[in-house]
Amino acid sequence: MPTDSLTLDRPLDMHLHLREKEMLGLVGPLSAAHFAGAVVMPNLVRPVDSLADLLAYREQVAAATSGHVFMPFMTLFFRDYSDEELAAARPHLLGIKLYPAGATTNSEAGVKAIDAAESTIRRMEEQGIPLLVHGETHGFVMDRESEFLAIYRHLAETFPKLRITMEHITTAGAVALLDAFENLFATVTLQHLLITLDDVAGGLLNPHLFCKPIAKRPEDRAALLAAALGAHPKLMFGSDSAPHPRSRKECCGCAAGVFTAPIALPVLAELFEKHHGLENLQAFVSDNARAIYGVDPPAKSITLSRQPMKIPESYGGTVVPMFAGEEIGWSVRSD
C-alpha cells in the first residue's frame, strides 16, 4: 500500500554550499528549514583554510540560519597543515576538503599533485580527521572521475586508518569501489540520481543542470540509484546544492552548480517511492551519515506528504532551482 506521508528523523545534507553574504542569507534558511544539519563546503572566494576563518564562517552560518534547528558541520580547505594546526582545529570540524587545483568553483588554490599532499594526509590519519575529496583529474571531461579512481585506491591503501569520502560520485566505477576498501565512503547528489548528460546537453543546453562533476551515462545513473535505493551503508546523501545568481548561469561561461536545497527531500521521496524504496530513505538521508561520521545532529523531524508542490521559478528572484516551475508529487508538510 502506498503511504501518504513519511517522517524523517534528523535528515542531513552531507555536502552543501552556502556561499557568503547576501547569498548565504538567502539560501541558508532554505537548507536549515528541512535539514537538521549539513556539511558546509569551504571553497569560498577566499577559501576557509584556518581555524580563525572556520570559526568566523560558522558564526555567519549560524546567524543566517537562526530560528531553525540546524547544525553546520564545518570543513577546512586542504593545504599543508602542521600537527599543531590540525590538533587545534580538530574539535571544530568534521573533515578537510581536498580540491584538485582548478577542478571546480573557487578551487584555484587546491592541490596540484597528490604526492605533495601526503604529509598532511598522514597527519590527518594520525589525528583521526576525515578527508573529503572532489575526485576529478584534468583529463577529458567524461573521464575525470574514472581517472581519479586510481588515486582513491592509492589513498585507501596508503592510509588504511584514514576515513576517505568520495564526494558527489557520478560513475558505476565509484560505486563499485565502495566495496573494495573498508575506509572509502561516498556522497551522491539528487541530480546524479535523476539525470544523465543527455538532460544537460542532449537538446538545447540546460545551464541549470550543469554541474561538476558532470552527469554521466544511463548505466552510471542506474548504479548510483541502485546503491541509494538499496541503502548501501557507505553511501550518504550530499546535495552539492550550489547556488549561483541567474546572471552567472544563463550566460557564456556558465557557472557549474545545481541548486536543489529546498526541493531535495520531496523530490527524493517521489523518486524512492517510484522505485519502491521509500523505506530506505531514512538511511540514505541520515542514518548512514550518522554511523559513518559518528555525528549527533540535534533532534528534528521532517514530515513529507504526498501532496503536489509547484517548484518556484526562482528563490529571491535570482537563484533558479532544479525543475523550476514544474510540479512534483510530494512536499514538506508545514505544521
How confident is the model over 169-228, as pLDDT tens digits?
A: 999 999 999 999 999 999 999 999 999 999 999 999 999 999 999 999 999 999 999 999
Q: Mean pLDDT across the stretch 251-262?
A: 96
Look at the chain and report how many structural domains it folds into: 1
Catalytic pick among 49, 220, 240, 287: 240
* Residue whose cell numbers read 544537460: 200
Instruction: Name the percent of the chain lying above pLDDT 90.
Output: 95
- Averaged pLDDT, 1-20: 92
How many angstroms separate the CA atoms of 79 and 50, rounded?
A: 10
What distance in Å separates the CA atoms of residue 242 and residue 239, rounded to the nearest whole number?
Answer: 8
**pLDDT value of residue 3:** 80
Read off the pLDDT of residues 87-128 as tens digits, 9 standing for 90 and up: 999 999 999 999 998 888 888 888 989 999 999 999 999 999
Grid coordinates of 159: 592510509
Determine the Cα angle at 257 with ends 256 and 262, to 5°. 165
Q: Taking residues 28-51, report their average pLDDT.
A: 97
C-beta of residue 47 within 8 angstroms of C-beta of residue 97: no
| pLDDT higher than threshold 80 for residue 335 | no
Q: Which domain holds residue 293?
A: 5-332
- Does the pLDDT at position 236 exceed 80? yes
Residue 293 has pLDDT above 70, yes or no: yes
What would the mean pLDDT of 273-297 be, rounded to a whole number?
97
Q: How many residues does the chain have?
A: 335
Predicted TM-score (pTM) of this structure: 0.97
* Confidence band, pLDDT 50/70/90 cuts, at residue 140: very high
Average pLDDT, the chain: 96
pLDDT value at position 334? 73
Residue 219 maps to which CATH number? 3.20.20.140
83 is catalytic: no
C-alpha cell at 207: 545551464
Mean pLDDT score, 19-40: 98
pLDDT value at position 1? 45
